[in-house]
Structure 1
Amino acid sequence: MMYDENDLIYSPLQQKYTAEGKTVEVCIYRMPDTGWTLEVVDQYNNSTVWDGEFDTDQEAFDLFLEEVGAEGIEAMIGPEPGSSVH
């Protein structure tokens, strides 16, 4: 069966998350027959999607919190548009 984005199921855990004065959008969603996907979108619209699927939306959110705790929210934010990255 083919699905499109209208079939996406969004987690109630999806939210804007702010730490250290920076905000990212935590997106947790799935299709009807799949596991949960974790995606983080920064203020420059850079998107980071984790490999693999999560059994629960809580697992996905917990991993996001772990990553922020370990690496800081700065690690979730990509380059500003127009900046040169080497």
Structure 2
Amino acid sequence: MVIKSRELELSPLSGPVTQDGITVEVKIYRFVGDAGEWALEVVDQDDGSTVWNELFATDADAFQAFKAAVAEDGIASFLEPPDTLH
């Protein structure tokens, strides 16, 4: 059985975000050619990944969820052990 990998479309809202001397990489993506929902992932400087379980209708909604998490818990909350779910 051959599984074909699909290319990802990265939102222009993706990129590094720095606050309080901590930089994380915000990744908002969906499959290329898919008008579906957007996934949200935050990667810290040690390649630890925090992935939201929910998908978002727009890339702006996903970025708002990231901003809300930073406002509530601080950007340092993403410096936890890798592969945590949000």
Task: Please tell me whether residue 15 in structure 1 is matched to residue 19 in structure 2.
Answer: no
Q: 1:54 to 1:68 in 2, by over 3 A?
A: same
Higher percent of residues as strand:
2
Report the TM-score, using the length of structure 2 for normalisation.
0.82
Residue in 1 that maps onto 2:59: 57
Give the distance between the partners of 1:71 and 1:62, measured in 2 at CA.
14
Cα distance in 1 for residues equivalent to 2:4 and 2:65? 27
Report sequence identity in percent.
Answer: 44
Q: RMSD of the alignment, in Å?
A: 1.8
CA contact 1:44–1:79 (8 Å) conserved in 2? no
Residues 13-34 of structure 1: CA distance to partner in whole angstroms, max 9, x if unpaired? 0010000100000000001153
Alignment gaps of 5+ in structure 1? 81-86
Regions of 4+ moved over 4 Å = none
Contact 1:42 1:76 survives alignment (8 Å): yes
